[in-house]
Amino acid sequence: MRTLSILSRKGGTGKTTLAVHMAVAAELRGKRSTLIDLDPQLSTFEWRKARLGHSPTPEVAEAKVGSLFTQRLAAARTGVDLLVIDTRPSTDLECAEAVRWSDLCLIVVRPSFFDLKAIVRTAELVRQLNKKALFVINQAPSRRNGEEVQAVIDTYESLIGLNLPVAPVGLRYRAAYQNAVRLGKSVEEAEPGSLAAQEVAALWRLVQDGLWPNLAEQGDEVQALVS
């Protein structure tokens, strides 16, 4: 079993959106996944409620700081392939616990000055604990006339300076994400073949390569951010 945690020190960056999309991406490709929610708002439970009419998976479980170790063991015993930990904009202590038990951390950041400032500590923590991580730019505005928006370029360059890998594909700001989540779905289910679905598939490939390096597989190309 592999563990993926979704981190950022700010609310509204898209942690829960990414968590549910990565958990479903795994399920769609034949891996059993479970979502663990460390946020008392339990947004993943709301998503799951909307989902129950059409799919019984992935499972969703609530967790408290201090219980992750035992919850990981319990999930591993039931044959889960991937545990996705959704976190809240949290104290370092809580974040450290999620990072400690992770094989890969996705650090979610919007192209904004405040988001960038907020993730510096998270990046330090991940480096201190010597964990694999990937910055993911979420809610990136669309290109204008084919040109990347300056805020996205600046964010990308600032992240490179933090000495952790930056995902070359990010998620654009798209209504498709909000619509899919409201239906208890992923964009890969709600709008297969859409640009949003392609972004998620491309991000999943990076995540899969990070978690299961031996399985690295080929796939469709999605236009990279910034390039």
Residues that bind ligand ADP (CB under 6 A): 11-17, 43, 138-139, 171, 173-174, 177-178, 181
Q: Can the peptide bond before residue 58 be classed as cis, meaning omega within 30 degrees of 0?
A: yes
Which of the 8 DSSP states describes residue 33?
E
Q: Which of 8, 16, 155, 198 binds Mg ion (CB under 5 A)?
A: 16
How far apart (Å, rounded) are the C-alpha atoms in residues 192 and 218? 19
Stretch that binds Mg ion, among 15-23, 50-58, 62-70, 115-123 (CB under 5 A): 15-23
> Which 169-198 positions form the footprint of Mg ion (CB under 5 A)?
none
Q: Which is nearer to ligand ADP, 1 or 111 (CB)?
A: 111
In degrees, rounded to 5, the angle at the alpha carbon of residue 52 between the alpha carbons of residues 48 and 53 is: 145
Strands (E), the chain: 2-7, 33-37, 59-62, 82-86, 104-109, 133-137
We find the least distance from the C-beta atom of residue 218 to ligand ADP, in angstroms, to be: 25
Q: Which does 14 bind (CB under 5 to 8 A by kind): Mg ion, ligand ADP, none?
A: ligand ADP
Closer Cβ to ligand ADP, 1 or 171, answer by number? 171
**Alpha carbon distance 176, 197 (integer Å):** 9
Alpha-carbon span 190 to 138, nearest angstrom: 19
Say how many residues touch Mg ion, by CB under 5 A: 3
Least Å distance, CB 186 to Mg ion, is 15
- CB 2 within 8 Å of CB 103: yes
Length of the chain counted residue by residue:
227
Per-position x/- string for 41-80, each x denoting binding to Mg ion as judged by CB under 5 A, each - no binding: --x-------------------------------------
